[in-house]
């Protein structure tokens, strides 16, 4: 079964085409964004005249940092209510989009930070318009929000059909200002999502052609985009691959590929996409014996062998090494093994196998 209740606008006229639809979502929008992404990307310069034309007022909440936390969500909720907003426009990468989803639920159901993960308390939500400025998370078409609990130091996500964005506006022009590091890391995040569509025990064969095409787009365009950051067709290809990745995990969810990276983000500040990327090769090799048929079909469709794909992957600076000597490795292992993602992995690692996977990135 496929379910995607998001209306998608894509291309250089996407925002203007979506203008009338935005106007139907409410009278006052809370614009949720990071400190600079909305302006640096060029979204705000084009969005504000459209809001004025549609008679939509707005309030800007620009307090979203990378890897948003529960405190940030509560601040956004308070501003949403205080300003009398009735829908949300989220602008940025996965962090603002994920924060916006949580703010929507928190405001609509008057939830505290301790109640956000309680599915029984999520009864309604406010509409979300998602405008991504990176080509990585695909959050503009998913029902997931990933947040960090500063008290526990644990990064964890939740899903609810209530927080599928109502509108997704994808324009690669808003991604032209991305640095090479963000370009690489977010593209690797999209690649992770696409591969996890094959890995997940919830895999949907109907999505396999789209997954293969998304991976092909990354293989053909990532190096070009890193070399020529203003190459719009390459950016458009990566934006489409990210969208495909979002559609994929909206149906399959993520696996160990994601779970193993979260502690590196919370403990060392490793960007989310890079935390995924540093384990791409190891996870594929770990899963390969259980997924011979699926991976064979995937690589046939891509037009590369698995060895050639891994060699391509080795051409990027994603082999991060981390000093793990100060880490409570047993706590990490327990956290990863208890994550919801792990249960839909094709192979659930033993404690020793997981320890070996984590130590594969040990410095020295």
Q: How many residues does the chain have?
A: 364
Tokens matching residue 93:
């990468």
- In the chain, list all ranges with CATH 3.40.50.1970: 7-174
pLDDT computed for residue 153 by the predictor: 65
End-to-end Cα spacing for the chain:
47
Distances, alpha carbon 180 to alpha carbons 184, 227, 278, 320, in Å: 6, 9, 17, 16
pLDDT computed for residue 152 by the predictor: 67
Return the SS3 of 95.
helix
Per-residue buried b or exposed e for 81-110, using 16+ beta carbons within 10 Å of the residue's own CB: eebebbbbbbbbbbbbbbbbbbbbbbbbbe
CATH entry, 178-359, from 1.10.3210.50, 3.90.1300.10, 1.25.40.10, 1.20.1090.10: 1.20.1090.10
C-alpha–C-alpha distance, residues 83 and 125, integer Å: 17
- In the chain, list all ranges with CATH 1.20.1090.10: 178-359
Return the SS3 of 210.
helix
**218 class by beta-carbon count within 10 Å (0-12 exposed, 13-18 middle, 19+ buried):** buried
C-beta pairs of 209-216 under 8 Å, 24+ apart in sequence: 209/301, 210/244, 210/247, 210/248, 211/244, 211/248, 211/298, 212/298, 212/301, 212/302, 213/244, 214/190, 214/240, 214/241, 214/244, 214/245, 214/248, 215/191, 215/241, 215/298, 215/302, 216/302, 216/303
C-alpha–C-alpha distance, residues 295 and 203, integer Å: 12
What's the angle, vertex CA 74, arms to CA 72 and CA 77, rounded to 5?
Answer: 110
Q: What is the dihedral of CA 246, 159, 95, 78, to 10 degrees?
A: 140
Per-residue model confidence as pLDDT tens for the chain (364 residues): 799 999 999 999 999 999 999 999 999 999 999 887 667 888 999 999 999 999 999 999 998 888 788 899 999 999 999 999 999 999 999 899 999 999 999 999 999 888 888 899 999 999 999 999 999 999 999 999 988 776 666 677 788 999 999 999 999 999 999 999 999 999 999 999 999 999 999 999 999 999 999 999 999 999 999 999 999 999 999 999 999 999 999 999 999 999 999 899 988 999 999 999 999 999 999 999 999 999 999 999 999 999 999 999 999 999 989 999 889 999 999 999 998 888 899 999 999 999 999 999 998 6
C-alpha–C-alpha distance, residues 194 and 215, integer Å: 7
pTM score, whole prediction: 0.95
C-alpha–C-alpha distance, residues 294 and 288, integer Å: 9
pLDDT computed for residue 27 by the predictor: 97
Is 3.40.50.9100 the CATH classification of the domain at 7-174? no
pLDDT computed for residue 340 by the predictor: 84
């Amino acid at each position: 079964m496929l379910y995607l209740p998001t209306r998608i606008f894509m291309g250089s006229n996407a925002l203007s085409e979506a203008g009338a639809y935005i106007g139907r979502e409410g009278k006052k929008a809370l614009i949720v964004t990071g400190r600079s992404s909305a302006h640096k990307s060029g979204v705000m310069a084009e969005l504000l005249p459209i809001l004025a034309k549609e008679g939509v007022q707005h309030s800007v909440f620009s307090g979203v940092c990378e890897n948003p936390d529960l405190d940030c969500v509560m601040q956004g909720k308070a501003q949403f209510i205080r300003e009398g907003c009735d829908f949300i426009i989220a602008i940025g990468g996965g962090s603002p989009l994920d924060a916006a989803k949580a703010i929507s639920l928190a405001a609509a159901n008057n939830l505290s930070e301790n109640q956000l993960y309680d599915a029984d308390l999520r009864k309604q939500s406010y509409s979300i318009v998602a405008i991504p400025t990176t080509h990585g998370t695909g959050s503009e078409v998913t029902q997931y929000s990933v947040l960090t609990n500063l008290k526990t130091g644990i990064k964890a996500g939740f899903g609810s059909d209530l927080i599928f964005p109502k509108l997704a506006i994808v324009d690669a022009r808003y991604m032209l200002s991305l640095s090479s590091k963000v370009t690489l890391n977010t593209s690797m995040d999209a690649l992770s999502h696409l591969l996890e569509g094959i890995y997940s025990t919830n895999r949907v064969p109907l999505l396999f052609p789209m997954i293969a095409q998304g991976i092909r787009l990354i293989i053909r365009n990532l190096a070009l985009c890193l070399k020529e950051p203003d190459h719009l067709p390459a950016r458009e290809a990566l934006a489409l691959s990210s969208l495909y990745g979002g559609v994929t995990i909206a149906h399959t969810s993520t696996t160990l590929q994601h779970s193993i990276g979260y502690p590196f983000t919370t403990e060392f500040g490793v960007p989310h996409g890079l935390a995924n990327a540093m384990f791409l090769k190891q996870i594929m090799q770990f899963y390969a014996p259980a997924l011979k048929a699926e991976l064979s079909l995937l690589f046939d469709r891509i037009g590369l062998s698995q060895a050639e794909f891994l060699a391509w992957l080795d051409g990027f600076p994603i082999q991060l090494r981390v000093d793990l000597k100060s880490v409570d490795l047993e706590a990490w292992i327990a956290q990863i093994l208890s994550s919801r993602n792990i249960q839909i992995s094709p192979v659930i690692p033993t404690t020793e196998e997981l320890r070996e996977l984590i130590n594969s990135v040990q410095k020295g």
